[in-house]
Amino acid sequence: MFIVLARVDSRTMAARLSDAGGALGIEYVDDLAAFVTAEEPQHPRWVWDDTAAWYPELLEAGIRVERCFDLRLCHAILRSSVLTATSALATAPQGVWDAPPPATATPDRETALFDVEPEQVAVVADPLAEFSLQRAAVAGSAEPGRIQRLLAAESAGALIAAEMRFAGLPWRVDAHDRLLEELLGPRPLEGARPQKVQEVLDVVRDRLESPELNPDSPSDLLKALGVAGLQATSTRSWELKQLKHPAIAPLLEYKKLARLLSSNGWHWLDTWVVDGRFRPDYVPGGVVTGRWATSGGGALQLPKQVRGAVIADPGWKLVVADASQLEPRILAALAADKGMAEAGAAGDLYAGIVASGAVETRDQAKVAMLGAMYGATTGESGRLMPRLARAYPRAIALVEEAARAGERGEIVTTRLGRSSPPGQRFEGWSEARSAADTSRARERSRAWGRFTRNFVVQGTAAEWALCWMASIRRRLRELDDGWFTDAPHLVFFLHDEVVVHAPTGLADAVSVILTEAAAEAGRLLFGDLPVTFPITIASVDNYGQAK
DNA sequence: TGGGCTTGCGCC
DNA sequence: AAAGGGCGCAAGCCCA
């Protein structure tokens, strides 16, 4: 059964539909929490416009739901998927369901209210009509199974995102503060440089004989370097590393410390860690490829430096799992490349590639694979490509074809049916006024080809990760006889890695679940193809100990 | 003063 | 050591 929830004139309505889509009745709901609590034992699939708009208040009320359809996320998939391109949904003009999600909640919630345009509020979206269009689009698809699986996985991801934000990532302010003090010195007054940052900056200024230098200003820094006889074209660390000068080492040190201070210093701590939990705002489907994004807090860029402050509660563990070499394995599976699958069967895919004789070292295998998936043309990676193509023709042909398709302005599609945005067509080179125009057009075309090349791999890897997490979530419920945050639960997700916060006694059971869920994700995407997705699991007290 | 852009760098 | 894909964020810069 489906229950479609809608807000109509500030009241909540619920419409029941049978699995076949037949209307079973409609009613007003005065107490949403009570209604959901009463219905959930029947395992309905809740259908709503936006999980972030409905689910947090349920969680606050102590209610969890098993499954849902997030109409806005599903709409985005169906709108652009080649599998549903002829559907009424995909051929309709842009409408409210194509609009970006409303302003998201941040710690300073008050500002979000004023960000919403009045017109946005006034527009009434009809979830029942939209759901009906979506079901028709799926039913009429050439491959309903795939797209249906994608919609379910995407929606499960939305539930998980809300739950992870609700639960929060355990974060010890005292440990973070200690770490900052060790590296930067005691917390300074607002706006002042911490002692150790100031000290290393003093050395830089002294050695560059530039007492007024602002090291945070690239142009100022470049000028000072020039005066010292160092010609650099940028102030990027890797370029500075090439230079020989006594100021370089402290300058690099300064950059490191300044980065930590500005990105994950005391200000970050004050803003994002509340009551011992970091609650980032996850944005499922926030990246074109289907990866999640986050908004605020930089959750997907947590430097390894500060992960030591992510500490399990007393009597609990953090069970950290990451999928080993996920993207190359996804490529092997997509291409049904038996050789590459075999290379990964023993565990270390890169070692397997070396063993096959394609390249000499593990580093070469890694850099060559990355080059294949990203479209490297130069450097060591570019040079190794032909050897990889000889050893694994099917896998390499798949990414090459994705790249050529993109260059022609065509759309590419992931395993479950997420399609790339339409590219521009580049055939109009004849209209180019000059050789420079032509080469610019060619470069744009190639850049789009690199994007589509990567899209199929990154996007399918994102689908695998969603299936993995959905399976983890479902299996963890078996260990849960009360409220989910009192039992093992997901607290963090990073593209190909998850963290489960678990009572110590259940850490082993969680490990089993993580492993089984990975196998299930592989089957969901690729059936019985002999491609394995091994995961590395570490049961630790703090996140810094993993990897 | 505020918005939008660039630079640089953290993560996968 | 650094070229190829995807991001978010902070600080400086530039202009209205």
What was the pLDDT predicted at A105? 42
The domain segmentation of chain A, as residue ranges, is 2-167, 173-269, 280-326+463-546, 327-457
Maximum Cα interatomic distance, chain A, rounded to a whole number of Å: 80
Paired tokens of A484: 């989910």
Give the number of residues written for chain A.
547
What was the pLDDT predicted at A421? 95
Paired tokens of A217: 């200003």
Instruction: Point out the nucleotide closest to A291 (alpha carbon to C1′).
Output: C6
pLDDT at A415 > cutoff 90: yes
Spacing of A112 CA from B6 C1' in Å: 27
Amino acid whose CA is nearest the C1' of C9: A298
What was the pLDDT predicted at A220? 94
Spacing of A305 CA from B8 C1' in Å: 18
What was the pLDDT predicted at A439? 81
CB neighbourhood size of A223 (10 A): 13
Spacing of A108 CA from B2 C1' in Å: 20
pLDDT at A435 > cutoff 70: yes
Spacing of A112 CA from B1 C1' in Å: 21
Instruction: Point out the nucleotide closest to A295 (alpha carbon to C1′).
Output: C8
Task: Tell the residue number behind the tokens 């860029």, with chain if given.
Answer: A301
Residue pLDDT, tens place only, A512-541: 999 999 999 999 999 999 999 999 999 999
- CATH number belonging to domain A2-167: 3.30.420
Chain Cα centroid distance, residue A319: 19
What was the pLDDT predicted at A539? 98
CB neighbourhood size of A528 (10 A): 7
Residue pLDDT, tens place only, A102-134: 654 444 434 434 444 444 444 467 999 999 999
Chain Cα centroid distance, residue A116: 25
Residue pLDDT, tens place only, A344-356: 999 999 999 999 9
Q: Answer yes or no: CATH 3.40.190.170 is held by domain A280-326+463-546.
A: no
Paired tokens of A444: 């744009």
Spacing of A301 CA from C8 C1' in Å: 8
Question: Which of A432, A410, A408 shows the shortest CA–CA distance to A422?
Answer: A410
Which nucleotides of strand C are protein-proximal, with an atom < 7 A from a CB? 1-14
* Amino acid present at A352: G
pLDDT at A545 > cutoff 60: yes
Strand B contact with A238 (CB < 7 A): yes
Task: Tell the residue number behind the tokens 């042909």, with chain if given.
Answer: A397
Spacing of A216 CA from B8 C1' in Å: 10
Amino acid whose CA is nearest the C1' of B7: A218
What was the pLDDT predicted at A115? 43
- CATH number belonging to domain A173-269: 1.20.1060
Question: Which class in CATH covers the domain with range A327-457?
Answer: mainly alpha
What was the pLDDT predicted at A429? 52
Question: Between A122 and A176, where is the model more confident?
Answer: A176
Report the distance separating Cα A462 and Cα A445, nearest Å. Answer: 25
What was the pLDDT predicted at A119? 44
Report the distance separating Cα A13 and Cα A121, nearest Å. Answer: 17
Q: How large is the C-alpha radius of gyration of chain A?
A: 26
What was the pLDDT predicted at A128? 95
Paired tokens of A405: 């398709």
What was the pLDDT predicted at A125? 77
HSE at residue A346, side-chain half, CA atoms within 13 A, is: 11
What is the share, in percent, of chain A residues with pLDDT greater than 70?
Answer: 94
Strand B contact with A303 (CB < 7 A): yes
> What mean pLDDT comes out for the span A323-338?
97
| pTM of the predicted structure, to 2 decimals | 0.94
pLDDT at A16 > cutoff 70: yes
> What mean pLDDT comes out for the span A11-38?
96
Question: Between A444 and A463, where is the model more confident?
Answer: A463
What was the pLDDT predicted at A425? 61
pLDDT at A92 > cutoff 70: yes
Q: Is A461 left (phi over 0), alpha (psi -120 to 50) or beta?
A: alpha
Residue pLDDT, tens place only, A243-271: 999 999 999 999 999 999 999 999 999 99
Spacing of A480 CA from C6 C1' in Å: 35
Instruction: Point out the nucleotide closest to A448 (alpha carbon to C1′).
Output: C5
